[in-house]
Each structure stands twice: as structure tokens, then as C-alpha cells.
Structure 1
Amino acid sequence: MGLAIASFAAFAASQVGTPGPANMALMATGARYGFRRALPFVGGVILGKQLIIWPIGFGIMGWLAAYPAVFEMLKWASVVYIMWLAWKIANLRMSTERGGDAAPGFVAGLAIHPLNPKAWAMIVAGFTGFVDAGTDPFTATLGIAAVLLACQCLLHPVWTFAGDRIAEVVAGTGAERILMWTLAALTVASVLYALLRGGGDA
């Protein structure tokens, strides 16, 4: 009994590495403020996922199932937040000038995953699809938390750095607005996909 580490690691890497609200926010932040100034935000995004892994591992989904009205309220609050985030991304403009306004920090990053339906869906899928029945909750949660932390430490900076490099090419050009609106659309699409795939339980 335990966690299928190798299989879950492949699943986690595919989920963490693909477009979603967190990666779009990281890419946009890197594009606007540069890779180095975005690093505190990256750290917050990485650790923010731990804020939901552990409660899920110790039964929050069962508690939410007992109070469906609370679950529904949280779900739609998350959707509203992600839509707001997408709007912010769409209207963000890249800059190769690394001064100016303050970059979002560690605390701002912490909020991304707890309000991200894709993150909830990914973690729930990890517990339901890769953990053997009867596995000690602490062991299962520790394994899932460690694998996701490793994937995020590797992949989230890549998205942030990509934003930084893209800004060097398209900032101030006609392609900039198209790119930012595309990132915003991908953010919304990833949330809708997570909600629909989970039957509304993401």
C-alpha cells in the first residue's frame, strides 16, 4: 500500500507544466517585471499549493461533501478570482524597463493556487488515482506534496523566465496585446476545462 510515485510524478509534471492560471500569471509577471524581480512571487506560488495539499490529504473533501453549499460558494469564488486574474493579464503590458511599479511579492503568490480550480482538481486526482486504499494519510500526503513541490520548483521558474524572454521580443509591438489576450484566454480555458472534467467538483 502507498503512493505510485513514478506514475504520479509523470502526471504531476504534465499538469504543472501545461498552461493554467498559475503558469499564465507567472509568465505575465516575468514579462512585466523581469525574471529576478518575479522570484518572490514564484516562491509564493510554489508554496501556495502546499496550503491545499495538506488539508485535502487529511479529509477536507469529505468535509466539503457534507456541506455542499460551502463547496459551491468556494468554487464560484475561485472562478470569479480567476476571471479577474485573466482580465489583469489581458491588460498587462510587457516592459523591458525593469524599474517602475512594484512587482507582486511572495504573499500575492500564495493566493494563486488556493483559488485555482485546476490545482484542486490535480490534487484530488492525485489522491484518488495514485494512492492505494488504506494508505496512511500522512504518508500519502507527504509523497504528493513532495512530488508536486519538486515539479513546481523545476517548471514554474521556466514559465517565468519564458515571460521575461518573450518581453524582450514583443514588448511595445503589435504582437504584445495579442499575446496577453491569448494568455488570458488560456487562463480562462484551463479553469473551465478543470471544472467540466471534474463535473463541477474541481
Structure 2
Amino acid sequence: MIDPSDLLVFMAALAAVYLLPGPDMALVISTSALRGPKSGLMAALGLALSRTLHVTLSALGLAALFHTHPILFDGVRWVGAAYLMWLAWKILSRADGDATEIATETGAGWAAIQRGVLTNLLNPKALMFCALLLPQFVSTQHDLAAQYLILGSVLVGLGFLFDVVYALAASSVAKRFSGSRSIRKISTLAFSGIFGFAAIRLAIGGS
């Protein structure tokens, strides 16, 4: 149904995107480093859920609605920027917090999933990415639903795999420097800055 060579090109394109720094990567790394690997993996799960929804919305044509009604796109974009800025403030406000206390908060896993879903879902460019990339590998001569299912599964699965690697790597590095309060504070400020920068980029419509 989908040519193996086309599928390899599709996976290569996805890998290139998942290797680029962005809000999703920053969320997984910061959550795992500051709250522990379990929370990092839960954030990765939240991102996977949101990507699944984006693939579904793309297949249903919502991205086309955003294209024909820019005000809807801008509305989601501004809400997403505000949420990223809130995450930046949230991380910064815990710069002097205790890592063990943060990692063992009640409901931390569910909160991490929510952050993963919202971080990706409120980025309309993630939806537009799905809408632009997926049709390039879909043939009208075959079952469209089946093709979207296969390509969507690859997109979500590969993204989750990358996020798991980022989460485990971040946790490992964080444990190595867990005894250094100054390094922890610097990393916290850096993570906060990354989300702040991502919020500004999204707000001004940068690519």
C-alpha cells in the first residue's frame, strides 16, 4: 500500500524534525531532569497523545480550516504562546525547589501527561506540519484511511521513541550532577529561558 522507499523517506523526514530543538524536546528534557525519569516519560506519553490527535485532525481537514481562517490559527497560536510562557515561569519559580520534593508530588505523573498534551496541542504549527507532510506520502489510488493510520502510527511511534531517549538521557545527566546546586540552578534557568524563547517565537509567528 505504501512503498517501502517512500516510508523510509517519511521516517527520515520525521527523524530530522524530532532532532531539532523545540518546545516538545525542551518539555521532555526539563521534566525528566527536574522531576525524574518517570515524569519525563509521562510527558512523552502526553506528547504522543497530542500527536495522535493532530494526525486525526489533519486527516479530517481541520488544518485546511486554519488555512482559510487565519484568525483561528492566530487564536490557538497566542494561547499556545501564553502556555509556554506559563511553563517558563513555573520552572523559574522552582529554581530553589528541592528536586526530591518536586519529583514526588501527588499527581505528578498525570500533570506531566497534561503538560505534554497541551504543549503540543496548543502549537498550531504541529498540526500544520502533519497537514503538509502526510499528504505527500498518501496516494489517492489506495485506501486513504489505512494510509493515514500507517503514517500516523509511524509519526507518533517514532516521536515517542525519540522522546523516551531524551527523557532517559536527561535523567542520567541530571543524576550525575545532582550534587551540584549551582549546576541545577543554571539548568533550571536555561530550561525556563528555552520555554520563554519558544513562546516569543510562537507569538510573533516565527518558523
**TM-score (norm: length of structure 2):** 0.77
One-letter identity of the residue aligned with 1:177: K
Structure 1 residue 10, shift from structure 2 partner: 0.8
Task: Give a deviation string over 1:49-80, Cα, whole Å, max 9, x none.
Answer: 11111111221122223333222211211111
Structure 1 residue 190, shift from structure 2 partner: 4.9
User: Could you tell which deviates more after superposition, 94-103 or 46-55?
Assistant: 94-103
In the TM superposition, 1:88-167 aligns within 5 A as: 88-93=90-95, 97=100, 100-102=104-106, 103-105=108-110, 106-127=113-134, 130-131=136-137, 134=140, 137-167=144-174
Structure 1 residue 26, shift from structure 2 partner: 1.2
Residue 183 of structure 1 corresponds to 191
Residue 200 of structure 1 corresponds to none
Structure 1 residue 156, shift from structure 2 partner: 0.7
Provide the secondary structure at the position in 1 that maps to 2:120.
coil
Asked if the contact 2:27–2:43 (Cα under 8 Å) also holds between the matched residues in 1, the reply is: no
Partner residue of 2:81 out of 79, 85, 97: 79
195 and 144 in structure 1: CA distance in 2 versus 1, 3 angstrom threshold: farther
* Cα distance in 2, alignment partners of residues 142 and 23 from structure 1: 24
* Cα distance in 2, alignment partners of residues 92 and 48 from structure 1: 26
Greater share of helix: 2
Structure 1 residue 12, shift from structure 2 partner: 0.7
Residue 11 of structure 1 corresponds to 13
Structure 1 residue 92, shift from structure 2 partner: 4.0
Asked if the contact 1:19–1:190 (Cα under 8 Å) also holds between the matched residues in 2, the reply is: no
Gaps of 5+ in 2: none
Gaps of 5+ in 1: 198-202
Q: Provide the aligned C-alpha RMSD in A.
A: 3.0
